[in-house]
Structure 1
Amino acid sequence: MIELRDISKVYRQGERDVTALQGVSLRVAPGEVLGVLGHSGAGKSTLIRCVNLLERPTRGEVRVDGQDMLALGPRELRQARQGIGMIFQHFNLFSSQTVAGNIAYPLVIAGWPRDRIRERVEELLSLIGLADKAHAYPAQLSGGQKQRVGIARALAPRPRVLLSDEATSALDPETTRSVLGLLRDINRRLGLTILLITHQMAVLKEICHAAAVLEHGRVVEQGRVVDLLARPGTRLHELCYAPFTAGAGPSHPGGRRVTLSLAGERAAQPVITLMARRFGVDAHLLEGTLERVAGVPVGRLLIELTGSPEALERALGYLREQGLSPEPSPDA
Structure 2
Amino acid sequence: MIELRGVGKVYAQGGREVVALQDVSLRVEPGEVFGVLGQSGAGKSTLIRCVNLLERPTSGRVRVNGKELLSMRPEELRLARQGIGMIFQHFNLFSSQTVAGNVAYPLEVAGLSKAEIRERVAELLALVGLSDKADAHPSQLSGGQKQRVGIARALAPRPRLLLSDEATSSLDPETTRAVLSLLRDINQRLGLTILLITHQMEVVKAICDSVAVLEQGRLVEQGKVVDLLARPGTRLHELCYPPFVTGESAVLRGGQRVELSLSGEHSTRPILSTLARRFDVDAHLLEGSLERVGETRVGRLLFELTGAPDAVSQALAFLRQEGLTREEAAHVG
Q: If the TM-score is normalised by the length of the shorter chain, which range does it land in?
A: over 0.9
Gap regions ≥5 residues in structure 1: none
User: What does 1:183-332 correspond to in 2, within 5 Å?
Assistant: 183-329=183-329
Gapped regions of structure 2 (runs ≥ 5): none
> How far apart are residue 271 of structure 1 and its match?
2.4
Alignment of 1:45-124 (within 5 A): 45-124=45-124
Q: Partners in 2 of 1:16 and 1:71 — Cα distance?
A: 28
Query: What is the CA-CA distance between 1:274 and the residue it aligns to?
Result: 1.4
Q: Percent identity?
A: 71
Q: Name the residue aligned to 2:26.
A: 26
Deviations 1:55-95 (A, max 9, x none): 00000000001000111111111110010000000000000
Aligned partners of 1:331 and 1:279: how far apart in 2? Answer: 19
Letter in 1 for 2:189: R
Normalised by the length of structure 2, the TM-score is 0.97
In 1: Cα distance, 2:46 partner to 2:175 partner: 26
Gap change, CA 1:274 and 1:198, over 3 Å in 2: same
Aligned length: 332
- Confirm or deny: 8 A CA contact 1:259 1:329 kept in the other structure: no
Letter of the 2:282 counterpart: D
Partner of 2:7: 7
Q: How far apart in 1 are the matches of 2:250 and 2:230?
A: 25
Structure 1 segments of 4+ aligned residues over 3 angstroms from their partners: 329-332
What RMSD, in angstroms, separates the aligned Cα atoms of the two structures? 1.3
Q: How far 1:255 moved relative to its partner?
A: 1.7
Question: 311-320 or 152-161: which moved more?
Answer: 311-320
Counterpart residue type for residue 38 of structure 1:
G
Three-state SS of the structure 2 residue aligned to 1:326 is: strand
1:262-291 Cα offsets, whole Å, 9 max, x none, are: 001110012222122111111111100100
Q: Distance in 2 between matches of 1:228 and 1:68?
A: 30
* C-alpha separation in 1, matches of 2:327 and 2:228: 16
Task: Summarize deviations over 1:264-323 as a string: whole Å, max 9, x none.
Answer: 111001222212211111111110010000120000110111011111111011111122
The verdict on how the C-alpha distance between 1:159 and 1:100 changes in structure 2, with shifts beyond 3 A counting, is same
- Match status 1:38 vs 2:35: no
What's the CA shift string for 1:143-181, capped at 9, x where partnerless? 000000000000011100000000000000000000000
Provide the TM-score with structure 1 as the length reference: 0.98
Letter in 2 for 1:176: T
CA–CA separation in structure 1 for the residues paired with 2:273 and 2:113: 66
SS at match of 1:104: helix
| Conserved 8 A contact 2:256-2:327 | no
- Which amino acid in the other structure matches residue 116 of structure 2? R
8 Å Cα contact 1:250-1:256 kept in structure 2: no
| Residues 230 and 299, structure 2, Cα contact 8 Å, conserved in 1 | yes
Contact 1:7 1:61 in 2 (8 A): yes
Looking at structure 1, the residues matched to 240 and 302 of structure 2 have their Cα atoms a distance apart, in angstroms, of 16
Counterpart of 2:86 in structure 1: which amino acid?
M
Match of 2:325, SS state, is coil
Question: Any idea what the Cα deviations from partners look like across 1:97-151, whole Å, max 9, x if unmatched?
Answer: 1000000101110111211111110011001111000000000000000000000
Which residue is 1:162 aligned to?
A: 162
AA at the equivalent of 1:222: Q
Aligned residues of 1:316 and 1:326 also touching (Cα < 8 A) = no
